[in-house]
Amino acid sequence: MTDLVADAWVCAAEAADRVGVQVAELATIGELEECSGLLQRVWRAGHPAEIASPSMLRTYAHSGNYVVGAYRGGVLVGASVGFFGRAHERTHLHSHLAGVERGGHGRGVGFALKLHQRAWTLARGVREVHWTYDPLILRNAYFNLQKLAADAVEYLPEFYGPMTDGINNGDLSDRVLVVWRLDGPRVAAAARGVPAEPDLRGAVPQVSRAGGDDEPPVTHDPGPAAAVTVAVPLDAEELRRRDPAAALRWRVAVRDALMARLAAGCRIAGMARDGRYLLAGECDDRDRVA
């Protein structure tokens, strides 16, 4: 375990150095107020308490949970918040919030935060981090399943109930639960910058795109295929703002396909860069007993 933790800290430091940030735990009221404000901006919320109030962050930090910020040139550009939980008789860190200032996506700050979270969690003798994400957001799905090599384990319809922040307002709060097995070989390789890509050869489409995001998703009956693909919009957040009805059609199509396949014994095996989930395993959703 000692070597694993040391290597995790090296990977975290290298990731932070590559993008010119310093990742540090936050503790003072001033730091936590700044963190709360950043998270409010990221989620376009009307009030800091809608996402994470400074007092809540203070409680998390003071009780030994995970509250960190990423700084560039002394300016806070990203933050991550988590707390310890327990599932299946094992302790894990639940990564509740992680956000990067607008314009910072795809620039490595989020990756640096996650690798710090991995090392921090392993250093406390905990080997798993859990979190949820919106299955329609291609950027997040690819980051979680490929860039980090986390495992998608469960589809959670309407997990949060109605949400009112600027990103999620008016949509269904479906989420996918992921488990990040920090000591696994795939995760270790991803932390070193060598993520695996899903192999879609031979996979049969179950949900596909007819054209742009505004066009209704096309559903197919792939039968007992060993592998199927389920497409998502290329930019679900923009589609939600521009055409909520179209976004809802995509939500329902992806929900129905993923839940049916998972219930039939398939597993989510990855997300391709072009926005297609890969589900693998000998399963046929038509064989389910209602």
Using CA atoms in the order 274, 263, 96, 273, what is the torsion angle rounded to 10 degrees?
-10
> Is pLDDT of 142 > 80?
yes
What is the Cα–Cα distance from 88 to 181, expressed in whole angstroms?
14
- The whole-number average pLDDT for the span 48-55 is 90
Q: What pLDDT, on a 0 to 100 scale, did the predictor assign at position 290?
A: 27
> Is pLDDT of 286 > 70?
no
Q: What pLDDT, on a 0 to 100 scale, did the predictor assign at position 283?
A: 59
246 sits in which H/E element = helix 244-263
* Domain extents in the chain: 2-191, 204-287
For the chain, helix (H) and strand (E) counts, in that order, are: 8, 12
- The pTM for the full model equals 0.92
- Length of the chain, in residues: 290
**CATH number 3.40.630.30 is the correct assignment for the domain at 2-191:** yes
Which residues face 163 on adjacent strands? none
Confidence of residue 289 (pLDDT cuts 50, 70, 90): very low
Q: State the DSSP code for 150.
A: P
In single-letter form, the type of residue at position 252 comes to V
Confidence of residue 287 (pLDDT cuts 50, 70, 90): very low
> Is pLDDT of 79 > 50?
yes
Six-digit token string for 186: 């795939």
> Is pLDDT of 167 > 70?
no
